[in-house]
Amino acid sequence: MDKELVKSLNSQMNFELYSSYIYLSMASYLKSLDLNGFANWMDIQVQEEISHTMKFYNFLHDRDVEVEFEAIAKPQNKWDSPLAVFEHALKHEKIVTKRINDLVDQSTRLSDHATLNFLQWFVGEQVEEEANVMSVIQQIKLVGDSLFLLDRELGQRVFTPPVEKK
């Protein structure tokens, strides 16, 4: 197997592990806000990323090439709001999609059909990953709008002095 491609696949295995790490940090931030439903969604995302890591790990072993772990960077651990968390997650997924597409291009240049076949699962998965995060962002924005409407309604309350009984 081409050495540069092995390097790229190892790099992606490590990036998937980093993805699980950053999502765990996001889950922890959401949990600290007592947003346990949001935190649960992110916990599932952590598990998905570990399963992606394992897919690369197993593929590299199946191809009988070297599996090399790298240091995992410290993830961000504070955000301005739950919306900022999910916007960051979408940005992150777009980076993953670009990396997968680059891997597909690299494998195509090398006519490595086995790797191309392996990567097809990730091509489809990335469409789903981005759509899932976009859906949460949309839902947070809708809730934000209802809060705005409720805030406007509550803002109309005025003090009416009690009528004095004669």
Instruction: Evaluate whether 69 touches 12 at the Cβ level (below 8 Å).
Output: no
Q: Encoding tokens for residue 28?
A: 């922890």
Please report, as residue ranges, which positions from 120 to 139 form the binding site for ligand FEO (by CB under 6 A): 129
- Select from 5, 49, 56, 136 the one that contacts ligand FEO (CB under 6 A): 49
Q: What's the min distance (Å) between Cβ of 93 and ligand FEO? A: 5
Out of 13, 22, 46, 93, the only residue in the binding site for ligand FEO (CB under 6 A) is 93
- Please report, for the chain, how many H helices and E strands are present, in that order: 4, 0
Q: What does the CA dihedral 98, 101, 107, 111 come to, rounded to 10 degrees?
A: -150
Nearer of residues 106 and 126 to ligand FEO, judged by Cβ: 126
Shortest CB 59 distance to ligand FEO, Å:
14
49 alpha carbon, distance to own chain's centre: 9
For position 115 contacting ligand FEO by CB under 6 A, the verdict is no
- Encode 3-21: b = buried (16+ Cβ within 10 Å), e = exposed: eebbebbbebbbbbbbbbb
Of 17, 22, 24, 96, the residue at the interface with ligand FEO (CB under 6 A) is 96
**Which is closer to ligand FEO, CB of 5 or CB of 133?**
133
Give the rounded distance of the alpha carbon of 109 from its chain centre.
Answer: 29
- Does 43 bind ligand FEO (CB under 6 A)? Our answer is no
Q: Is 52 in the site for ligand FEO (CB under 6 A)?
A: yes
Dist. CA 85–CA 134, nearest whole Å? 12
The residue among 27 and 52 lying less far from ligand FEO, judged by its C-beta, is 52
Question: Residues interacting with ligand FEO, by CB under 6 A?
Answer: 16, 19, 49, 52, 93, 96, 129
